[in-house]
A and B are shown apart, each in its own frame.
Chain A
Amino acid sequence: MGYQINEEKVFNSGHAACPGCSEALAMRYIVNTLGPDTIGVVPPSCIAIISGPQPLSSMRMPVYQTTLEASAASATGIARALKAKGNDHTKVVAIAGDGGTYDIGFQSLSSAAERNEDFIYICLDNEGYMNTGAQKSSSTPYLAYTASTPAGKPTPKKNLAEIMAAHRIPYMATATTGYPEDLARKVAKAKGIRGLRFIVVLTPCLDGWGLADNAGPKVSRLAVETGVFPLYEVENGEHYTLNYGSKGTPINQYLSLQKRYRHLNQAQIEEIQIEVDNNWQRLHRKFST
């Protein structure tokens, strides 16, 4: 581990995440790295459930639960209020799912990014509306089963990382729970920057993807090693840094662990392999400095 995780105990035990939940693991490193001088914004999602049942919170920091499409706008309100009150130390973080980010929340996120609002937006991306029982979002990958795409999603996953980088925000990063030190380092790095910082964290949903309770980190790493979800950072929309990329691991090693792909035939697996390879090559060109 190149980065030494330095946790403050802000995220509490006793939360209601499923056993082995990747989102809870991600929240641990996000919240504990940001520390208690932070105000959180959470839209409807499993994150909201994990936040705790009234009157209890799983986070020892103020958290505001907003509506599904409004995370970035709600975070804006807090950040601006803090600024107006002369508070220049408290951090603001929005932690939203992929439905609340790629889909319904994208308008307010894009606008906040354009205004370069001073908060951190973290998307815990489990590639679908998992909290409502696994429906398709625009983050759902090509051919993945969801309750609303029973034959497999016919279109590819939206490339939100690149869309956010194209906003030329100060910091954009991808991360995933199989690499907690990388995730914590990125959160710490984001914490030290001002302006809109965006991190999309791939958080395999055990139930929605059809995984064993202990398989979250493993699948997360396979997503990286197959090139499905490379871990990288983009500063100011221009400076690309690769952290963990494809190791050329065949895509089937990733797909075969997940029930959402068990309907695939060999030709479809090969099709996905080609798509992943193309995406990886396209991205890889950006790392030449």
Chain B
Amino acid sequence: MNEKNNRILVNGNHAVAYGVKLAQPQVVPIYPITPQTPIVEKISEFQAAGEMVVELVTAESEHSAMAACITASLTGARVFTATASQGLMLMHEMLHYASGARAPIVMFNVNRTIGSPWGFWPDQTDSLAQRDTGWIHYYCEHGQESLDTVLQAYRVAEKVMLPAMVMHEAFYVSHALDIVEVPAQKDVDQYLPAFNPLHRLDPEIGESWGNTVNQEMFYRHRRDLGLAMESVIDVAQEADTEWQELTGRGYGIIEKYRCDDAELVIVTMGSMVGTARDAVDNLRMEGVPVGLLKVKLFRPFPTEAVRQALMSVPKVMVLDRNFAPGTGGFLHQELKAALYGVDDGPGVHGYLTGVGGTNISPNNIAALVREAMSTTPIASSVWKG
């Protein structure tokens, strides 16, 4: 433990709670759901111990938790909540409402299968199904990244006035112990200034929010929301750069891993990135020219960065631990769209791997790489266990 930083052994969810504590949200509406619960339990502990001064709202549902988040944010408070799976599904209406309200809420979602049937397993379909709700989406690989990303998310959200959700996966990350470095409060305070929005629900200002609009106003409102979302690419990049300067840890909005001269680049998100990293290392040792592209910022989709990263790569293999019936893997779709129109662009294999939380080892991935390198991609995603 050095003067500046505090290294602790915690699971991924508790790492998130430490990040939240540093952000000093004033209102935290919560509702328990496995496997998210340790986040809010830890926050509750912090509050009980006097380490956090926060209004905890023990809501009766995730829907109400998100409803309370929106108004607390519009009243000028920094807010946080966490959820997973069904909870996120229940929030769906309010997710749209939050982005429409331009409320810079930060929410943590622990990716878990969505019913039916019931399951508790890592699967990103819950959050990916919310990709069109106007939220900024971050996917994290491990507890440290989750902690750091929560703080970056506040910085970005409050700058562009859009809500942000940060994801890591059930159990693989949420309940896995790891050494995590907790930044100093004064560093975080410097990085993340107090939230003080220009427009807010305040009798001294007297402005109301959300009266019925006409078509032209709605059009313009959506356009403005889109412009704000577009600006996230640069704002997020800058936020990560500054974070790196402050803590030494940076992640980029995407990360290229050993992509030099790669004839195939694996593209994936979340915990699968760590597994793929091992697979790439192993294959490189065998002399297979393979690289890895980690998509960290999923919304807005960093199309230009992805195109730059992949335009000269012959083949891309997307691994999706998620599934949209009828269109396949979410990331696969996004990649195909991102690369559309690139001259001599890569062939894109889409593999559905680990859907429902099935175990995918580095060896599985290595086998898939070999297969992909020797076959011609087809348009749709392929089930690969």
Contacts and interface: CB of A to CB of B under 8 A. Distances in A.
Interface of A: 36-41, 48-49, 51-57, 59-67, 69-70, 72-78, 80-85, 90, 107-108, 110-111, 114-115
B209 A61 contact: no
B63 interface: yes
Contact of A108 (B61, B202, B212): B61
A62 B27 contact: no
Contact of A65 (B54, B59, B94, B209): B209
Given A54-B214, A107-B60, 20 more contacts: A36-B203, A49-B212, A53-B214, A57-B208, A62-B206, A64-B208, A65-B208, A66-B210, A67-B67, A73-B65, A74-B71, A75-B71, A76-B64, A77-B67, A84-B27, A84-B53, A85-B26, A108-B59, A108-B64, A115-B57
Contacts of B59: 73, 76, 108, 111
A67 B94 contact: yes
Given A54-B213, A77-B75, A61 B64 contact: no
Interface string B1-30: 000000000000000000000000011010
B95 to A, nearest CB: 11
A103 B60 CA distance: 16
A70 B64 contact: yes
Contacts of A74: 67-68, 70-71
Nearest to A110: B60
Interface residues of B, number: 43
B211 interface: yes
B67 A51 contact: no
Interface of B: 26-27, 29, 53-55, 57-61, 63-65, 67-77, 79, 93-94, 97, 201-203, 205-214, 217
A53 to B, nearest CB: 6
A52 B71 CA distance: 19
A57 B26 CA distance: 29
Contact of A41 (B58, B71, B94): B71
Contacts of A72: 64
A77 B72 contact: yes
Given A77-B69, A115-B57, A51 B64 contact: no
Nearest to B25: A84
A77 B70 contact: yes
A84 B71 contact: no
Contacts of B54: 84
Contacts of B205: 62
